[in-house]
Amino acid sequence: MSDEKTPDELKKDAAQAVKPGEGTTEAQRTTATALEAGSQHLPEGGRTTLDVVAVRQGLFGARDSGDTSGFGGLVSTVALPGPSERPYGGWFDEVVDVLAELLDASGTGFANAVESVVVDRGELTLNVVRDHVVEVCRHLRDDQDLRFELGLGVSGVHYPHDTGRELHAVYHLTSVTHSRRLRLEVAVSEADPHIPSTTGVYPGHDWHERETFDFFGIVFDGHPGLARIEMPDDWPGHPQRKDYPLGGIPVEYKGATVPPADQRRSYS
């Protein structure tokens, strides 16, 4: 807290602080350190930026009444699991090694193509730079030690808090030959939502990419016919984005009114 404040002002600040959602006062302000301390999956030594997916204030989702719990001023960030260190364990190292070898040999370079490797809950995720996703897919499919020949699809995720990387396309690959599963993740910004299409490598990704375009607005360049697939052709907006409302109307039952699902209290 700053020194020039009078005790009265400080008291006022403290009173303000317990009102949730008003983060303008000194007592309320949370430092970056506190944000990190309150986060899940804190990376050791602060090596990398956090993949922040949400910032929460208070507990119990109660924002319309006084702070009876005393937790109203709590601010915490939530981050997805960060990059992993070698050894990744199991066959993960082998796959990453082979892929690195192939990417280095082709002149692309592993470090240029793969941003990070995440191992979480026994699953391997490669965060791939969008320009090289097709090449990575091709190596993963064609090399005899990789053989991820079955592309099971693409799904999108919208992280509005992940500034500059709001839209993620997630590719789920399976190796029938080696009984392995792998996930590729490509992040792009809302301002420039372009990713090269992987339909040239996995023709089965055709409809999946159309679906991801339809719901998230990610444009897959080079797709043979990137039209909406679930929503009508002239539908405005991309429904699965977080800023797109769920919709619904209040329902009256026996005199009481139940608000639509996206306007009910959220405990998250």
253 binds other proteins (CB under 8 A): no
Q: Give SS3 for 70.
A: coil
Question: Which member of 5, 11, 41, 86 binds other proteins (CB under 8 A)?
Answer: 41
Q: What are phi and psi of 17, to 5 degrees?
A: -65, -35
Looking at residue 259, the DSSP 8-state letter turns out to be P
Q: Return the residue of 179, 249, 253, 254 that touches other proteins, per CB under 8 A.
A: 179
Q: Is 197 in the site for other proteins (CB under 8 A)?
A: no
Is 120 a binding residue for other proteins by CB under 8 A? The answer is yes
Residue 121 binds other proteins (CB under 8 A): yes
92 binds other proteins (CB under 8 A): no
**Residue 97, interface with other proteins (CB under 8 A)?**
no
Pair type for strands 180-188 and 123-128: parallel
Residue closer to other proteins (CB basis): 100 or 150? 150
Does 140 engage in binding with other proteins (CB under 8 A)? no
221 binds other proteins (CB under 8 A): no
In the chain, what's the furthest Cα-to-Cα distance?
73
Q: What is the DSSP string of 213-231?
A: HHHH--EEET-TT---SSS
Residue type, 34: A
* Residue 98: how many other CB atoms lie within 10 Å: 16
Which of residues 7 and 236 has its CB atom nearest to other proteins in the complex? 236
C-alpha angle 206-240-128 in degrees, rounded to nearest 5: 55
Q: What is the C-alpha separation between 205 and 171, in angstroms, rounded?
A: 9
Q: Which chain residues interact with other proteins by CB under 8 A? A: 40-41, 53-54, 56, 60, 78-81, 120-123, 125, 149-153, 155-158, 160, 170, 172, 174, 176, 179, 181, 183, 202-208, 211, 228-237, 239-240, 242-247, 261-264, 266-268
